[in-house]
Structure formats: C-alpha cells, structure tokens
Structure 1
Amino acid sequence: MASEDVVGKTSDSAVTTIVNLAEEAKLAREGVKAPGHAILSICKSLVAGGVAGGVSRTAVAPLERLKILLQVQNPHNIKYNGTIQGLKYIWKTEGFRGLFKGNGTNCARIVPNSAVKFFSYEQASRGILLLYRQQPGNEDAQLTPLLRLGAGACAGIIAMSATYPMDMVRGRLTVQTEKSPYQYRGMVHALSTVLREEGPRALYKGWLPSVIGVVPYVGLNFAVYESLKDWLIKSRPFGLVEDSELSVTTRLACGAAAGTVGQTVAYPLDVIRRRMQMVGWKDAASIVTGDGRSKAQLEYSGMVDAFRKTVRHEGFGALYKGLVPNSVKVVPSIAIAFVTYEMVKDVLGVEMRISD
C-alpha cells in the first residue's frame, strides 16, 4: 500500500512537472517570460546599461571636464581658450589627475543613469509600439523614427529625473580646481552641504532646461542610431551589409552620427543648466573667474532669465561655449555606449536588444 502511495505521488509529481514545462513553453512561444527569467533579464539589461555608461564616460572624462569649465567661465577672465589649450592648461596646473577630476562622481551618476535610460527605452519602445498596433490598420506596424524618438524622450526624462541631484553636485565638483577654495570634499559631502545650506530644491536647480534638453538629445540619439541601423540592414547600400549583423565599426559610425545630431540640437540648454546649477554657491565666482566681480551674473530667477542674461551679456555664441570639446567628447561617447551596451548584452545572453 505504501509503495502504491509512493508511485502515485511520483506519478503526480511527474505530471505536474510536465504541465509546468508545457505552460512555460507556451508562455515562451507567446513572448511571456517566467517571473524569475524576466527579473534576471531585467537585471542583465540594467548591468549592460550601467557598464556602457561607465566605460563611455571614463573614455572622454578630460573633455567632459573641460566642457563644463568652458561653459561657466567668465568672459572677462579667460583661463580656457579652446580644446587643446584648455587640456594643456589643466595638465600644467593640476596634472594628470586634474583631467579626470569629478569622473568618479560622474560615473556614480552616469552608471545608474545609463542603466535606467537603456532599460527605460526598451520598455517605452515596447509600450509605444503595442499602443500603436492597437490602432486599426497598424496591427503589423514596426517602430518608426518618430516612435523611437518618443521612446527615447521618455527614457531620457526618466533617467535624468532619477539621477539629477548627482548630476548637479557633479557639476560643482568638476568646476573646482587645485587653487580654488574647496567647499566640497566629495559627492556625499556636496549633497549634504547643498541640502543643509540651500535646501532640497537646490538639488534640482536647472532641472527644467535639463528635461527640455534631454527630450531631443536622448530621443534623437536612439532614433538616429536605431533608424540608421535599420536602414543599413534593410537597404544594404553600397554592399555595406551582407547579413543582419552589423560590424562594430558600422555600429560605432551609427552611434557617432546619433551623438552629433542630438548634442547639437540640445547643447544651449545644457549650458543654461550648468549655469543655473552654480546659483547659490558662494564660492562659484571665485572658482570660475578668480575674483568676485561676476557674482551678479550667476544670479538667475529661472531658465528664461538665464537665457536672456547670457545672450545679453555675452552674445548668442555663449550658448555654445564648450561645443567643440563636447562634440569631440559626445561623438565617441555615444558610439561607445551603444556598442558596449549591445556587446555586454551579448556576453550576458540577453535575448532582447534595443533594435528588436
């Protein structure tokens, strides 16, 4: 009798296992992943995005710092006068470490920012495409450049908002030099100091121009990158593509084009964001200009006022201060980020890619 019970339980267990496997296979065919597998896939996607952000940003850290210094320096006391001269000046006055000042803080921000951005883009593009396919006549529609632009904009806003306080203090840390009166010893100290002296709202100074700027910037990055890849795969111009797998070089070129378009459109908003982030920092004038004469120029009542004062006092060209080092930085940075993301996902074995 006991042996019959054992056999019966074993048989029931086998049947249950077979049923579970069949259900999982059905879900897989329908594109629905088991909870455990879905969580693992999400984690892998976040890791890939974080690694992509850290690698790409570290590769261009000196240009990132020079860009910020050019954006906020006073026109009456020029220290940094171009990309080559600026990099040489930093090397001469602060050494090799000066070229990477603020990079640790930057990576602490960009790693989660990039992870959230890439993952948010994947989820947003799926959701937007699903809603689009529910419209009559669009049942078999694919992602268009406009839909990719919308998904990229959503991803940019989410990622920017989630990590903005770290970006704000990173901007202040980056501006500090060896000769300046140090107020911040690191990211944690900067966050606590700003909270204590300026209040929680200060951590989001410049958030509005950042969000407005991130819509075309991130949106165009994803839209141009994915659309170029899609065009190369489908049209195969000049024999560039022989199969559906693009080479690393071709993907880098697509990323470079995406970065160039996105940063050119959004750059003025980035300049205004940086300037607004300096408001309320009592040592900002001495750090940027070496004297206190320009302190009044650091006072802005809002984004529109910052635009107006910048153009009135320094001309329209001031909105593109630091554009050259930023262009040299953004092109390889975006390219490296996209390619690293896809390569890390290949290594981790993630089925879903941004181009799917």
Structure 2
Amino acid sequence: MATGGQGAAASSAAAQPVHKYNFENVSKALLAGGLAGGISRTAVAPLERLKILMQVQGNDRVYRNTWQGLLHMARTEGIKGMMKGNGANCLRIVPNSAVKFLTYEHFSREIMDYRAKFDGPGEMTPLLRLAAGAGAGIIAMSATYPLDMVRGRLTVQEGKGGQYRGIWHAASVIMREEGFRALYKGWLPSVIGVVPYVGLNFAVYETLKATVLEYYGLKDERELSVWSRLACGAAAGTTGQTVAYPFDVARRRLQVSGWSGAAALHATANGSTAVAYTGMMDCFAKTVREEGVSALFKGLVPNCMKVVLPYIP
C-alpha cells in the first residue's frame, strides 16, 4: 500500500530525474523485507490461523473468542497445528513485495512524467500516491493470489490427517479436482477490499501524523518520535482493516466454498455440510441471513491483535 514513507520518497523525487533502481539494490531490499516479513508473520501465525478459522465457521462456534480459540488449537493440534498455512504465507512475501514495489515505482514514474509534460511540476500529490499504491496492491495481490488460496485451505483443514500434505500438494489437488480457476476463488472481494483498506490506511496515517505535528508544534515529520510513528501506523492499519474486514471474510469463505475439508466448521443440528456460494454477493447474503451481520466481523479481535503487535517494539 502507499504508506507515508513511500509518499515522501515519491514527492522528493519529483523535482529531479527519477532514480533508477539497479538489480542489486532491489534484491537486497526485497531480501531484507522478505526476512523481516517472514519473521513478523511467523510470530503472529497462531492469531492469523485463528482469525481465518473464526471467519469460516458457522453458527455452532468451535472458536468462541481469542484465548479459548488459541487454547483449543494448542490442545487439539499442538504447536505445529497453530502454524498451519504459515509456510505459504511466508513464501508469497518476496514475490508480493517485489511486484508491489516495482509496480508502485513504475506507476509513480509514469504519473510524474505525465504531469511534468502536461501539468507543470511532475509532483506526486497525496491522492496520486494513494491511487498508485492501490493499483500496485491490486496487481501484487492478483499475481500471488494462488498462494493465498492454498494458504487458506491449509489453514482451515483441521486435525493431523488433513487432505493436503503441503503447499505443492494442495495446489495440485485443487487444480486437478476443481480446475485452475479455483485458485482464484475469492479474488473479487480481495480486489474490492484493497481500495477502502489502502485509502483509509493512508488517510488515517496522514491525518494522525499531521495532528501530532500540530499538537507538539513540530514542522517536519522527521522530528516525530518512533513511538508516535508506530502509534499512527497501528491506528491506521487497524482502522483500514476493520472497515474492509467484511470483504476479507467473504474472501476466506469463497476460498473454502463447497470444500469438504471445511464441512466440520459448519456443523449444524442436521450434521456437517460444506457450504457453497455462487459468488461474492451470494456469500454476503447467505452469511447475513443465516448468521447475522456480526458474522461479517468474525475473527476481528485476533486480526486487530495481529495488526497491532508488530508495531510494539
């Protein structure tokens, strides 16, 4: 997404030739970002898995709250079970970051060149940085979506004898039994959810940062303390994810739509059934009709904890 740091970098580059990133520098940045992202995701993997399990479960809730859910996972599947799906999540960090980084830089260069040619100074405004960030986020998410789909299935399957033995086995089974298009189940709500998430994240971060600068009488954002930046980032991330959260619930439910491996999570008085949805709107309609509006926010608490924890030094 287009963060404040990316915006500042793009803005400062407007008055001079756009910096050309060589392969070595980009590789180092992606490697460092991939390692840092892998470590942070692994640290909150149990919360991430719990969030997804809560998102796809039906009315008879096995996972009732964060603490009970973590204890249930630990008791029934052990530490290894709490980390299910983390491998696929970590695997997609580098390609996702690479596509997002390079796409954002390309969009920024094109926009600045266009403005320099037709509209005077080739500067990136906040709105243009937001658009570039949203576009880069959508393209990166789309490019690595099959990994997210596989990760969703691996995360949801319970017990020690699951249908899928690993990332590549899951991908091959899904394509063989459901077709290649199944790897993109839930793609539409993911794309739509990027817009409010990126927009609110950016807007809240910039607003909070400006408020803190004014409150303390500071003139430059570089004067902000680390704690202030972390607090603004955590608040912005939580706000953006909360508003876009129903789309994330729809994504996860569509990823396991009709899959027998998720049937146990939809246990009812009539037995376990694999709930199937025809599309995003059908998913929203059935979820609200059968479980209420609150079902669109299942797993929100562990999700917010997962967002905030990386900001705590």
Measured against the shorter chain, the TM-score band is 0.7 to 0.9
32, 39, 46: which one aligns with 2:23: 39
203, 208, 212: which one aligns with 2:188: 208
Any gaps of 5 or more consecutive residues in structure 1? 1-28, 340-356
- Residues 255-301 of structure 1: CA deviation (Å, up to 9, x unaligned): 202211210121000001101111242232036649983526x1111
Contact 1:210 1:269 in 2 (8 A): yes
2:289 aligned partner, one-letter code? R
Residues 185 and 291 from structure 1, CA distance in 2 versus in 1: closer, same or farther, beyond 3 angstroms? farther
Residues 106 and 245 from structure 1, CA distance in 2 versus in 1: closer, same or farther, beyond 3 angstroms? same
Contact 1:267 1:323 in 2 (8 A): yes
Separation in 1, partners of 2:102, 2:43: 22
- Residues 6-28 of structure 1: CA deviation (Å, up to 9, x unaligned): xxxxxxxxxxxxxxxxxxxxxxx
Residues 324 and 31 from structure 1, CA distance in 2 versus in 1: closer, same or farther, beyond 3 angstroms? same
Matches within 5 A, 1:39-58: 39-58=23-42
2:55 aligned partner, one-letter code? Q
How far does residue 321 in structure 1 lie from its aligned partner after superposition? 0.6
Separation in 1, partners of 2:231, 2:35: 20
Contact 1:61 1:103 in 2 (8 A): yes
Residues 142 and 105 from structure 1, CA distance in 2 versus in 1: closer, same or farther, beyond 3 angstroms? closer
**Counterpart in the other structure of 1:354:** none
**Counterpart in the other structure of 2:89:** 106
Residue 107 of structure 2 corresponds to residue 124 of structure 1? yes
Separation in 1, partners of 2:221, 2:199: 27
1:305 aligned partner, one-letter code? D
**Counterpart in the other structure of 1:169:** 150
Residues 140 and 119 from structure 1, CA distance in 2 versus in 1: closer, same or farther, beyond 3 angstroms? closer
Matches within 5 A, 1:224-263: 224-225=204-205, 228-229=208-209, 231=210, 235=213, 237-238=215-216, 244=222, 246-263=224-241
2:148 aligned partner, one-letter code? D
Contact 1:300 1:306 in 2 (8 A): yes
Contact 1:213 1:266 in 2 (8 A): yes
Contact 1:53 1:115 in 2 (8 A): no
54, 57, 72: which one aligns with 1:89: 72
TM-score of the superposed pair, with normalisation by structure 2: 0.83
Separation in 2, partners of 1:276, 1:323: 18
Contact 2:258 2:277 in 1 (8 A): no
How far does residue 174 in structure 1 lie from its aligned partner after superposition? 0.5
2:216 aligned partner, one-letter code? F
- Residues 163-208 of structure 1: CA deviation (Å, up to 9, x unaligned): 10010010110112225x5110000000000011111000001111
Report the 3-state secondary structure (helix = DSSP H, G, I; strand = E; otherwise coil) of the residue aligned with 2:92: helix
Separation in 2, partners of 1:72, 1:317: 13
Contact 2:108 2:124 in 1 (8 A): no
- Residues 204-254 of structure 1: CA deviation (Å, up to 9, x unaligned): 01111111112222344345446655x379x45315687725443233222
TM-score of the superposed pair, with normalisation by structure 1: 0.74
How far does residue 129 in structure 1 lie from its aligned partner after superposition? 4.2
**Counterpart in the other structure of 2:173:** 193
Any gaps of 5 or more consecutive residues in structure 2? 1-14
Contact 2:115 2:122 in 1 (8 A): no
Contact 1:118 1:155 in 2 (8 A): yes
Separation in 2, partners of 1:310, 1:115: 35
Contact 1:272 1:303 in 2 (8 A): yes
**Counterpart in the other structure of 1:12:** none
Report the 3-state secondary structure (helix = DSSP H, G, I; strand = E; otherwise coil) of the residue aligned with 1:244: helix
**Number of residue pairs the alignment of both structures matches:** 299
Separation in 2, partners of 1:152, 1:199: 32
Separation in 2, partners of 1:240, 1:288: 54
1:313 aligned partner, one-letter code? E
Higher radius of gyration, 1 or 2: 1
How far does residue 141 in structure 1 lie from its aligned partner after superposition? 4.2
Contact 2:50 2:70 in 1 (8 A): yes
2:130 aligned partner, one-letter code? L
**Counterpart in the other structure of 1:317:** 294
**Counterpart in the other structure of 2:6:** none
Residues 120 and 219 from structure 1, CA distance in 2 versus in 1: closer, same or farther, beyond 3 angstroms? farther
Residue 139 of structure 2 corresponds to residue 158 of structure 1? yes
279, 296, 301: which one aligns with 1:302: 279
How far does residue 159 in structure 1 lie from its aligned partner after superposition? 1.1
Residues 32 and 121 from structure 1, CA distance in 2 versus in 1: closer, same or farther, beyond 3 angstroms? closer
